[in-house]
Structure 1
Amino acid sequence: MRLVPALAAACATAVLTTAAPAFAAVPPTDPGTRAVAVAVRPGHEAIRQELDELLSTGTPGALAVAEDSQGASYATAGTAVRGASVAPMPEHRFRVGSVTKMFTATALVQLAAQGRLRLDDSVDRWLPGLVRGNGNDGRNITLRQLLNHTSGLYDYTSDPDFLRSHLTGENFLQHRFDRFTPQQLIAIALTHRPHNAPGKGWHYSNTNYALAGLVIEKASGRSYAQQLRRTILEPLGLNHTTVPHTSVEVPTPHLHGYSKLGENGSSAPVYDVTRMSPTVPNAAGEMISTAPDLNRFLGALMTGRLVPEPWLRQMRTAVPLSDELSYGLGLLARKLPCGKTVWGHGGQIQGYLSYAAATADGAHRAAVVVNSDWPDSSRLDRVLDVEFCQTS
């Protein structure tokens, strides 16, 4: 669920599979229209090399799917299932981790555009009394500050006791089917003092999005999952994207997810962690999708199909983090080495790393995923750098 994964790279045996074309190319009529992918098109060959480099980290498999005005293509390396020669393919589902935040932020902004709430409403306006204690006060935190991570709230996934008891090592294996409510997770965060006063600093926190999910439910009168299906998934035809709620399964076909549970080194055991409770990541990182669905979502978002242009501008009003990075409302802007800027989000969850991004006009979009959680995220950045900078 973290924005910038920093687990050590390690080596393991992987099966290298070269994908054969499976479909005919269909150029999209607009950035929100699904393009059927073919194996790598001219101008995109460097992507396959980057995926092969990802295999050197020991990840079992890697997949990248790109779409632009000429159509869609994909590159694949390794295997979807450890020990088998099953190439990762565009139709394979995976847990997207914090890529979910783009969907959550969009759903909340949609409610603002409809006049159901205001982004500058306080958290307390919608969740009275929930955020209190240890210097935390929901009366002083706005919904906008939740979405751009300037609330100062502590990230519940960083709590040392919770990290040790549920999120790492053997304890994760023992507790990965445990269920939590968002309120329970928020309560963990509130045992800590805030990192900064609201609006006075930036700190990435899954607690912000657990709260955003609850606000979506309160303002819409529907569950978080129902609201996303009604206003995003069904209108866009994202038929391979799901909000699992409490289901521990990943619908087939899918990439199996593998983890070393935070251990370093090539000798660390590798575990299949595909099945797990999605209630810990909840609205901050619970969703399951495919690379083409993520591209379709970003194409629609960037072209104003999901939120009106004035509200999209607010989503892209970003807090500077460095010379290359800034963070808007659920959207990370990254300036690439070639000078282009793309908008999207990365995702890390046990078993998977992913990143989806698009140009501001939505005309060029790409998603990359590996079915392991230990490679350094900069390697996924490199895949997208090559796609956006070395192709038209």
Structure 2
Amino acid sequence: MTPRSSKKPKSSAQSIPKVKEESILPFQPLPLFFPKPPFTNHKRKSFFLFLNIFLFLLQCTSLQEKPTEGYHNNTVTTEKVVQSKIEALQNSGIQSLSYMYLLGDGKIQSGKLGGDNKNSIQRFKIGSITKLFTGIALLQLQEKGKLKLDDPVSKFLPEIKEMLKSKPNLSEITIRDILTHQSGLPSDLASGFFLSPDASDMEVLDSFRGLSKRLSKIERIEPKKAHSYSNFGFSLLGTVIERTSGLGIEDYFQKEIFLKAGMKNSTLLEFHEGSELVPGYQGIFWKTKTSRPLIRDLTAGSISTTSEDMGFFMKSFFLSKKDKGLLSKESFAEFHRIQKGPISNFQMKLGLPVLIQELVGGGKTVLTFGHSGSLPPYFADLVYDPETETASFLAGNTLGLATGSIQPTNKEILHLIYEYKTGLTLESPPIADRKDQNKLDGFFGLYVSPFGVHELKEGNTPQLEIMGFDFDLIERENRFGTNLRLFFGLIPVKDKTIESFRIEFETWEGEKIFTLYSRDLAKGSIGFALHFQPDQPLPDKSYFTAYQTNDPYSLIPSVELKKDKRGFLFAIVTYSLGGMENKISLPCKMESPTTLRILGFGRNLGEPMELKTVNGKPVLVYSGIEFLEK
């Protein structure tokens, strides 16, 4: 596809400064998955995962500094700089990169860099950006009187009443609860999530529609308790769309969204006349072609599209402000309204279900919106400002070090475009004042978060273990900061973004917790860590072993049950994403001789595991998968 802007991109052979290659972020805000680099040694992997946090924060520094060139109303300079950032990103190790941006003048600037096939129209997977389309579909159905967002899901999906409950008398789950990730539903049902890459569209649809039949064997917890990202819930919303509209899910998206927006090369399913899915690759220095990822949870993350189509989508979406787009102006406003969430969201802001970031421009608060999507080896990011009708979209097809730069580069592009449109520079807001001194008395001990186990250790200088490494805690502004030193203390970190990195210890609903955040990461956006006491009861020693599934496409290929060095029970869960594996250690407690509970709140936390014996051999059941001893 040739770019639609007047400034054509330079060829990759020209001298373009290369961006620094970074690892994929371990905490993308609301992606489909959180992929991690493929290191085999667990300790070495832990270091690099935490290093990713540092590198991401370091990348964001440029977003807080006023650009050296003037972009206001300067189309030539703005497009030149935006194109150079896109080209540098593609040249850094992404085999094919698709881009789109809107300068607020209604003209779509789009194109594709790299790749082997220059003639065909190639679609990119956008992962969880699909969730925005699912939210739009539900608002459309609300406009037609087919449903209300505050209706209980059971009104349209009575099978949900058959779900197992973590305790009696749980509240009903509403459609809005799922849209805002506070439903209490599991994060994922790993069993059957990935399908054979050779599966037909009909086989994918059968799997998608069969999910509701499995609800009677799945457990849920109290809704509105804590934020917990759920692909599982968004797949169920797809069934609600089918049942209330009377259309199949692909037909609905094609008729009510893609066609209305002018998106000719977009689809939930795989086969689409006139275009093809761009091949996916993985690798740092040498690129290996991967098989296409097919998933059951269509409305959680299956859309494939082109950059030009994403431009048509955003233009039609913005027209909703005038009642001439995909939504009424009332629904458009509701989509972007900050939704009420559980108090564990803290400063995190969600729309329906778009992620909202609070910035400062010209001394006033500016809200920007967006969502990222990761379906390895594909990664995509969309950010936009509805008021100025500016937007930026990037999508890559290569799982490797450079992929981690897509999101911060896209954010930087939007900031440049915003200055072009308004003359104002966007900055992260200052960290809110905290009056009371953060005391550590009574807070020492063990914590669990979506990143695993942490320990707060006493000493002249308290230390916090994060992903296997101890960091000194320094008192700052009635909170704590980390004394970050790269390469094991050899190089001190001097950076204003890193200097804003903060840790708060506090009490939440009677529980001791800590949160990590910075000027660029809202408090609560990467979850929180919950204090826990090791549970002494342990299962029979025969269950302490490694388990595996025979499903070659399983999201979770293996689980290992072990005792920690401190003697408490934990499970090592392995996730397989795009040909790469990531392990996470999660503490558990015994609820009965045959039932374990993963501790904590948040993604993949709080879920049960079942132990049983079959033919004299231990078996572990987790996320719908029966794991057998290796």
What secondary structure does 1:306 align onto?
Answer: coil
CA contact (8 A) 1:97 1:281 kept: no
Q: Select which of 123, 136, 150 maps to 1:93.
A: 123
1:55: how far off? Answer: 4.4
Aligned to 1:317: 337
Superposed, 1:221-240 pairs within 5 Å as 221-240=246-265
Q: Which amino acid aligns with 1:111?
A: L
Provide the alpha-carbon RMSD of the alignment: 3.6
Give the share of equivalent positions with the same residue, in percent: 19
Q: Find the aligned partners of 1:181 and 1:281 in 2 and give their Cα distance.
A: 9
CA contact (8 A) 2:265 2:309 kept: yes
Aligned to 1:351: 377
Give the direction of change, closer, same or farther, for the CA distance of 1:296–1:207 in structure 2 (3 Å limit): same
2:307 aligned with 1:271, yes or no?
A: no
Give the direction of change, closer, same or farther, for the CA distance of 1:126–1:192 in structure 2 (3 Å limit): closer
Aligned to 1:382: 408
1:93: how far off? Answer: 1.6
1:103: how far off? Answer: 1.1
Give the direction of change, closer, same or farther, for the CA distance of 1:242–1:76 in structure 2 (3 Å limit): closer
Q: Select which of 348, 357, 366 maps to 1:334.
A: 357
1:199: how far off? Answer: 2.0
Q: Select which of 67, 71, 85 maps to 1:50.
A: 85
Q: Find the aligned partners of 1:95 and 1:333 in 2 and give their Cα distance.
A: 22
Q: Find the aligned partners of 1:4 and 1:214 in 2 and give their Cα distance.
A: 19
1:209: how far off? Answer: 1.2
Q: Find the aligned partners of 2:245 and 2:160 in 1 and give their Cα distance.
A: 19
Q: By percentage of residues, which structure has more strand?
A: 2
Length, aligned pairs only: 338
Aligned to 1:288: 304
1:254: how far off? Answer: 4.8
TM-score, normalised by the number of residues in structure 2 = 0.47
Aligned to 1:301: 317
Superposed, 1:1-392 pairs within 5 Å as 3=31, 6-8=34-36, 41-55=76-90, 58-70=93-105, 71-74=107-110, 77=113, 79-81=114-116, 86=118, 92-135=122-165, 140-156=172-188, 159=190, 166=194, 179=204, 181-185=207-211, 193-194=219-220, 196-244=221-269, 247=270, 252=275, 254-259=277-282, 270-273=288-291, 275-277=292-294, 279-304=295-320, 305-319=325-339, 321=345, 323=347, 325-335=348-358, 340-361=366-387, 363-375=389-401, 379-391=405-417, 392=420
CA contact (8 A) 1:9 1:376 kept: no
Give the direction of change, closer, same or farther, for the CA distance of 1:293–1:349 in structure 2 (3 Å limit): same
Q: By percentage of residues, which structure has more helix?
A: 1
Structure 2: runs of 5 or more not aligned: 1-27, 39-74, 421-630
Give the direction of change, closer, same or farther, for the CA distance of 1:46–1:378 in structure 2 (3 Å limit): farther
1:148: how far off? Answer: 1.4
CA contact (8 A) 1:68 1:365 kept: yes
Whose Rg is larger? Answer: 2
CA contact (8 A) 2:281 2:290 kept: yes
Relative contact order: is structure 1 or structure 2 higher (C-alpha 8 Å, sep ≥ 6)?
1
